[in-house]
């Protein structure tokens, strides 16, 4: 994989979740390495969509994950949003702090925020 795409998702509204999912799916289909960094209310919304219906707003993110995208939550947001760590670990690829998010996204030109 030569290309990299980073998506920052901080909102839990339907439009943001669907747009982030569509972006992640498009990038994965182009064989990019895709990292979706979740903060704030987006963490609980994406974790809740883990075992949900395919038409849920966050479902596309989990489809992208099955195709190779990584879903990564900010550890402070997991605590702030009162998401159970076991649920986050089951639904996501990693729960990390800001230093790791900054390191893993360093130098990536294709960045999108929703």
Q: Which helix H or strand E contains 59, and what residues bound it?
A: helix 59-66
From residue 62, alpha-carbon distances to 14, 26, 66 in Å are 15, 13, 6
Per-residue pLDDT band for 1 (boundaries 50, 70, 90) equals: low
pLDDT tens per residue, range 73-114: 999 999 999 999 999 999 999 999 999 999 999 999 999 999
Task: Quickly name the fold that domain 4-113 has.
Answer: Hypothetical Protein Ychn; Chain: A, (3.40.1260)
Query: What CA dihedral angle connects 36, 38, 42 and 45, to 10 degrees?
Result: 70
**pTM for the structure as a whole:** 0.94
């Amino acid at each position: 994989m030569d290309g990299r795409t980073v998506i920052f998702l901080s909102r839990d509204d339907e439009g943001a979740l669907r747009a982030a999912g569509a972006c992640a799916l498009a990038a994965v289909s182009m064989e990019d390495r895709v990292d979706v960094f979740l903060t704030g209310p987006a963490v609980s919304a994406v974790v809740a969509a883990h075992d949900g219906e395919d038409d849920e707003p966050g479902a596309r993110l989990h489809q992208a994950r099955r195709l190779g995208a990584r879903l990564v939550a900010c550890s402070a947001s997991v605590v702030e949003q009162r998401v159970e760590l076991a649920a986050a670990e089951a639904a996501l690829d990693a729960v990390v702090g800001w230093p790791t998010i900054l390191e893993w996204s360093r130098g990536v030109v294709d960045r999108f925020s929703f």
